[in-house]
Amino acid sequence: MLSAVWGRVLVIDLTNSKVSVEKIPEEVFKTFIGGKGLATYLLLKHSPPNVDGFDPRNPIVMATGPLTGLLSENYMYVVAKSPLTNRFIESICSGKLPLMIKRAGYDAVVIKGRASKPVYLWIKNDHVEIRRAFHLWNKGTFTASQEILRETSSKASVSVIGIAGINLVRIANVLNDFIYPWGRGGFGTLYGAKYLKGLAVYGNREIKPYDAEGLKKSYIKYLNLLEIKSNLAFPLRNYRVREKLSNVLNSFNRELLNRLEDVIMMGFNLGFRNEGEVAELLRLTDDLGIDPVSFGNILGWMIEGFEEGWLDEKKTAGLKPIPTTIENIRNIALHVAERFGFGAILAEGVDIASYVVNHESMLKAVHVRGLETGAIDPGCLNGIEYSYILSDSSLPIDLYGILFEEKLSAKRFKVIRDKVNLILSLPVPPYILVEPENLLYYATGYEPQDILVIGERIEKLVRTYSYREGNLLEGWSTLPFKWKQYVEKGKLESFINEYYNERDWVDSKPTKKSLRDIQEFLKGISLPPLPN
């Protein structure tokens, strides 16, 4: 087995209260590495075709990678089918949780089924318990985290959902270790749908890299590549006005800037520029377990509605985002988390909420395939539309690669996407400047002939999953109405066609020929007929 991996997956079946460990052959790691690649492989393997996002058979797959546990910061990748979009969704996850899962002796954790009553998981090396969580179910993330640590170990990592998750709010997220939120697209909703309040994990196994000294020398981290592009403008007030990124960078401390997109969407986007106020709002969303990016997007949409007159207190049953005060935002957040009144409509996400209100509000809603967009759009970064549209999760995972491209071609975009997939399989965030081939070698001892081929295989896996689930990717019709002023339809469609030609795919579908090098890993997985 390669260095820095265990070859073990912990599989937890909540429906039958069963725990098992699966072995992962070395060839799987060499083909897909870990993180995003391993997680997507396990998602295809453990989920039956065409399950709904809320279906108990829709697994949550958490995968560490060869770098997890070897660096000063630790990450893992989580994938599932989104209860918000009913499509593939992905999230990078940080805090102590990835480290503890790896030290417990697992490369990945697969959570399947649905418990009959609220539970949480306690994982301590080889010891795994499914514990009752009645007393925690209706508590916020901070209180629940404290109590779980008190019942398990103060040395453990804890990952929990808040009130939004237990009420199946579609934009619910997860909070790790009190300060690390993750899970855009409804991962907190998936916890809630499985009657899973959270998990605590402690591990003390030693993780040994192939070459510790080489690994240490080759890892260079930039806190955020966006800081290099501080002249970039980002959209505010539901994508109606723009402001330079440098104004945010100069206004907040480093701790808050580590959550840059959250700060923009819940702060500047809504008119809050005071550091203390923004911190208070983020603490509110963290405790309730609401994704601050999606929620900030929805609030921006509401504010525009009140200002333009297509939304008012009569339609929102008294909820008002204007004046935009902490108290008004708190009131809306509580209504969303509790699914009370108009909050129950907002809890469905901006796509469905706008459909319920009226046609004009649908034109103002900014989302891609149902997932609320964040703090960047084609009006401030040319080419980002390709990342949104060609992403199976509707997340612009290629943002940091596109930032420095003067003229983006389809061929170059393919290279960027493949490299990002590779980096996310180590995994480290794509805003970290790394040489993935060196890191992979020093961590595992594995030196592939062509490192980008691995990233390409991962993209094939993701698209194979989407194709199996009937989720083909559209072009022009996918763009939010507000963004179409910045994008030429013909140019967009031409770029998409060129991109699929580069991949040797047909109409966004992978072909039998293109999947030849991963065919053996798809054995036993039910797939619809593929183009030749």
Domain range list for the chain: 8-202, 225-368, 384-522
Residue reference for tokens 């805090």 = 95
Neighbours of 2 (CB within 10 A): 18
Whole-number pLDDT of residue 434: 66
Q: How many residues does the chain have?
A: 532
Of the candidates 22, 27, 25, 29, the one whose C-alpha atom is nearest the C-alpha of residue 4 is 29
Whether the predicted pLDDT of 174 surpasses 50: yes
* Nearest-10 Cα torsion for 254, 255, 260, 266: -130
Q: What is the CATH number of domain 225-368?
A: 1.10.569.10
Give Cα separations from 307 to 99, 304, 323, 415 (angstroms).
47, 5, 10, 43
Which of 55-64, 481-490, 505-514 shows the lowest mean pLDDT across its residues? Answer: 505-514
- Give the chain's radius of gyration (CA, Å): 22
Q: Rounded distance, CA 144 to CA 162, Å?
A: 8
Whole-number pLDDT of residue 356: 97
Average pLDDT on 81-98 reads: 97
Which of 55-59, 211-215, 307-311, 494-498 shows the lowest mean pLDDT across its residues? Answer: 211-215
Average pLDDT on 258-273 reads: 94
Whole-number pLDDT of residue 403: 83
Q: What is the CATH number of domain 8-202?
A: 3.60.9.10
How many percent of the chain have pLDDT more than 90? 82
Split at pLDDT 50, 70, 90, the class of 59 is very high
Token pair of 43 as six digits: 């998602």
Whether the predicted pLDDT of 192 surpasses 60: yes
Whether the predicted pLDDT of 219 surpasses 80: no
Whether the predicted pLDDT of 361 surpasses 50: yes
Whether the predicted pLDDT of 224 surpasses 70: no
Whole-number pLDDT of residue 230: 60
Whole-number pLDDT of residue 222: 41
Whether the predicted pLDDT of 223 surpasses 70: no
Alpha helices in 424-508 (DSSP H): 436-444, 451-468, 489-503
Residue reference for tokens 């699914």 = 339
User: What is the per-residue pLDDT across 94-107, written as a single tens digit (0 to 9) for each?
Assistant: 999 999 999 999 99
Whole-number pLDDT of residue 404: 79
Q: Tell me the average pLDDT of the chain.
A: 94
Whether the predicted pLDDT of 210 surpasses 50: yes
Average pLDDT on 42-50 reads: 96
Going through 134-244 in order, the beta strands assigned E by DSSP cover: 157-160, 174-176, 180-182, 196-202, 233-236, 241-244
Give Cα separations from 10 to 13, 64, 120, 143, 321 (angstroms).
10, 12, 15, 27, 45
Q: Residue 224 is which amino acid?
A: N
3-state DSSP: the chain helix, strand, coil percent, rounded to 5? 40, 15, 45
Going through 270-339 in order, the beta strands assigned E by DSSP cover: none
User: What is the per-residue pLDDT across 281-317, written as a single tens digit (0 to 9) for each?
Assistant: 999 999 999 999 999 999 999 999 999 999 999 999 9
Which of 208-222, 418-432, 468-482 shows the lowest mean pLDDT across its residues? Answer: 208-222
Give the right CATH number for 384-522 from 3.10.20.600, 3.90.79.10, 1.10.599.10, 3.30.70.380. 1.10.599.10
